[in-house]
Amino acid sequence: MSIESNRLSPKQYAHNFADFHPPFETHDAALVEANRCLFCYDAPCIKACPTSINVPKFIKQITTDNIKGSAHTIFLSNIMGAGCGKVCPVEKLCEGSCVFNLMDEPPIPIAKLQRYSTEIAMKKDWKLFTRKVTPEGLKAKKVAIIGAGPAGLSCAHMLSREGVDVTIFEKDEKAGGLMTYGIAAYKVTPAFCADEVRYILSIGGINIKYGQELGRNLRLDIMQKDYDAVYVSIGVGLARQLDIEGEELEGVIDAISFIYDIRSKGFSKVPVGDRVAVIGMGMTAIDAATQARRLGAKEVTILYRRTQEEMPCTEVELDIAKLDGCKIIWLAAPKEIIGVNGKVHSLIADVMELDTPDETGRRAPLKTGRQIVLEVDMIIKAAGQMPFESLITENDFENLRGKIVSNNTATNLEGIFAGGDCVNGGKEVVDAVQAGKDGAAAILLYISQQ
């Protein structure tokens, strides 16, 4: 047993990490599904979308051969509509609320149709938005954004549309945040992420400065002076610790950095074990487990301390893991990691059972006293992410265990707004996009009153 990189041939990597989402092969194929849409009024799918994309409208526009209008409808509500069509858990959002579910019929494949229109728009490089021209004699307003993730990009685009000059400070080398660095590469390929960012920025008026990190080479108080407003969208990123013995052993890594490495270094350069245990059952756990398999791990086991009933990921996600050959062990909580020569050798897990529901209906996992032992050489921790608490506190943000407290996106600091994961503690990309829109709206109001 060993942890190795370069396990597969380039062809195998390409196959394993090819785009997971099949497109409609033809316009006719898209039309078959688009024509099924009932064009609901005050549609449940709109309400279920955090960015409130006018789904019936964009689908109707496909049927009328108005693809440009369709893409505009999507991007108007969600500038990352193309990527969200790939990464959104649509089964619990738009598609999950489609009225066809109530007829026991398959819902409209909203995400696939959304990808259809947006990908044509990106491929043809349609200029769907223009910047408002600043009247002569007036100076364009300047806004700084920290973090070029979905919230930051969404905020930047909306501000730019209104004629604001935007500068984004990004700590990494690429924009896109979670989309670029935090999601399985087969769901959104690196090439797609780069293209999506390029397309968003094509509106102009948005300048991204890379390698700029708050607390390292970036100071909030200076930005506060240099800009009319600042939007903080730095996300979350610290992996939650397991707090068990053996966590420091070689071979224990966190899912965030594992996925980050896959996204930033190239598939062949990321080492993976023969037998891997993944702790957790959220989206990130699934992305880590499936990608470990796709990198060539011989056996991947996901452990979750509750049951399928309580799992945070969706059924669709679970199915991906199962189809990738990952094993699932329900009701198992990590107890101790045993090492040999400083390296992971095995994982001892407590077998759990669920308590009777408390007044909120939640059933706490309890130890049964029994244990299982898994022989593994790599353990990936995906038990959740935590905010950058010390950074937040150092910068005097009012916060709740590291999550910035905001009032309609305004923080306690004058002229500084915040949104996305650093406020909500970590949600979907689509939630961050909406947060960016809300932030832009609040900033526009704020700077108009200056």
Residues 359 to 388 in contact with another protein, rule: CB under 8 A: none
- Quick one: which of 200, 206, 139, 141 has its CA closest to 169? 206
Report d(CA 395, CA 390) in Å as an integer. 9
Question: Among 86, 72, 301, which Cα is nearest to 176's?
Answer: 86
Q: Of 25, 26, 42, 135, which one interacts with another protein (CB under 8 A)?
A: 42
Considering only residues 141-200, where is the footprint of another protein by CB under 8 A?
Answer: none
40 counts as binding another protein under rule CB under 8 A: yes
Give, in degrees to the nearest 5, the angle at Cα 158 between 154 and 164.
125
Is position 88 an interface residue for another protein (rule: CB under 8 A)?
Answer: no
Binder among 35, 64, 308, 407 for another protein (CB under 8 A): 35
41 binds another protein (CB under 8 A): yes
Q: How far is the CB of 22 from another protein (least distance, A)?
A: 21
Does 45 help bind another protein (rule: CB under 8 A)? Answer: yes
44 binds another protein (CB under 8 A): yes
Q: How far is CA 132 from CA 59, 78, 360, 373, in A?
A: 28, 19, 50, 62
- 25 part of the interface to another protein, by CB under 8 A: no
From residue 142, how far is each of 63, 165, 189, 231 by CA, in Å? 41, 5, 33, 11
- For residue 347, the cross-strand partners are 337, 374
- 45/256 with CB nearer another protein: 45
- With CB under 8 A as the rule, give the number of residues binding another protein: 21
Read off the tokens for 18.
Answer: 């090819």
- Distance of alpha carbon 88 from alpha carbon 83, whole angstroms: 8
Does 18 bind another protein (CB under 8 A)? Our answer is no
Identify residues 89-128 at the interface with another protein (CB under 8 A): 97, 99-100, 102-103
Closer by beta carbon to another protein, 103 or else 340: 103
Q: Is 54 in the site for another protein (CB under 8 A)?
A: no
Q: Does 217 bind another protein (CB under 8 A)?
A: no
Structure-block tokens of residue 133? 């021209």
CA torsion through residues 94, 404, 236, 238, sign: negative
The residues that touch another protein, with contacts defined as CB under 8 A, are 31-32, 34-36, 38-45, 47-48, 63, 97, 99-100, 102-103
